[in-house]
Amino acid sequence: MKSENNNDSIAGIRSMKTRILLVDDQEIIGRAVGMMLADQPDIEFLHIKNPVEAIPSAVEFKPTVILQDLVMPEVDGLTLVKFFRAHPATKEIPLIVLSAREEPITKAKAFELGANDYVVKLPDKLELLARVRYHSSGYRHLLERNEAYQQIEMSRRSMAGQIQSALRYVQSLLPAQLDATPAVPIQARWNYLPCSSLGGDTFNYFMLDDDHLAMYLLDATGHGLDSALLAVTVMNVLRSRALDADFLIPSTVVDALNKAFPMESYGDKSFTIWYGVYSISKREIAWSGGGHPPALLLRPGEEPEQLESDGPIIGIMPWDEFITSRRSVPPGSRIFLYSDGCHEIHLQDGGEWKFSEFLAEVVKIRDMEGAALLQNLLETCRSLAGADILDDDFTAVFFDFPE
């Protein structure tokens, strides 16, 4: 309905008649101009002799052109030009000075104060009609442009509201920070900072049974509502385990996702994912993935090991070679999941932050408490980019496996 009303509004402007308001204290001038316009069916004419009534009459009549004399009692004509230009209802209406004065200085002053045209009265009928129609047409185009801008601004605000609602919904699906317990001796801390537009990152972790914790982070291509919708759809599929897969075996999950989400069926959108399953009793992580940055396994006293997701980006092609890899997780180890927005940083000098430099930064802060580490990494990225909001979503999750 709003769209129809907006179209009706623009159509109304286009069909608007030329309305001429003449402000002149001489009755004979009013009659003469009225006679020139009398046979023009597309023109409405109103003559006001008292300049004090000019502004109220213009507000009510809504002229598309104002004709105004310069020599009138009570109000000086140039002063009235200033009044018309100061009033919000008349400031943009074309104003033609209709005067017996021909001095260049008077004309210059009228234009300086905001007049659009200057005609020595009385002009020829053809000239007057040409001038008022020209200025009236320009005014209608201005109204159309203003109406279009207003509609664009309303649409922008509506879209911004929808994006904020969608962002709140996405955030409501994210898991709570996880504290270690005797039954589940794992701590999880995360930081999720969307970029300026709604992104496609999401993540989750949940117990599959008493011994296994599933964890994943995915990143849908692009930004906006369509990317977020794909990410949330995949998230809900994983949450409900609505896949023909053994969720304890990561390669079967990733393979099932690749078959369930071909990009041609989802607006040419695809996504990367790292999916892992941690066994509490075995102290072992099993994982698989497609196209996603490698998770980092930080064992005490060792260099970080990159747990690669060897498969292709999910949805871009059939693939039957997803594999499940496994590593032991000694006490005191950590696993770091992240999206590419954490390391693909555009530097202020136009360069790119190298992945090796990102790894070095993680090593430098690896012993910080999880939440502090993630905040420190975020501030480093902001400093390198020279901006509080990054070009891509900053999504990172740290898992601690205490002794």
Q: Which residue segments constitute the domains of the chain, with CATH numbers given?
A: 2-147 (3.40.50.2300), 174-401 (3.60.40.10)
d(CA 169, CA 160): 14
d(CA 343, CA 383): 13
Helix, strand, or coil here: 18? strand
Cis-peptide into 122, omega within 30 deg:
yes
d(CA 306, CA 302): 12
**Residue 183 CB neighbours (<10 A):** 8
Which tokens hold the place of 268? Answer: 């040419």
Which tokens hold the place of 370? Answer: 């999880």
Per-residue confidence (pLDDT) for residue 303, from 0 to 100 = 93
Per-residue confidence (pLDDT) for residue 400, from 0 to 100 = 97
Rounded to the nearest 10 degrees, how much is the dihedral formed by the CA atoms of 291, 292, 298, 302? Answer: 30
Per-residue confidence (pLDDT) for residue 314, from 0 to 100 = 97
Tell me, rounded to whole angstroms, the distance of Cα 389 from its chain centroid.
Answer: 13
Per-residue confidence (pLDDT) for residue 305, from 0 to 100 = 97
Helix, strand, or coil here: 298? strand
Per-residue confidence (pLDDT) for residue 70, from 0 to 100 = 85
Instruction: Give the burial class of 92: count Cβ atoms within 10 A of its Cβ; 0-12 exposed, 13-18 middle, 19 or more buried.
Output: middle
What is the secondary structure of 199-229 as a DSSP string? --EEEEEEESSSSEEEEEEEEESS-SHHHHH
Contact 352, 344 (CB under 8 A): yes
Per-residue confidence (pLDDT) for residue 268, from 0 to 100 = 93
Q: How do strand 187-193 and strand 212-220 relate by DSSP bridges?
A: unpaired
Per-residue confidence (pLDDT) for residue 12, from 0 to 100 = 56
Q: How do strand 325-328 and strand 284-290 relate by DSSP bridges?
A: antiparallel
Report residues of the chain scoring pLDDT below 50.
1-5, 8
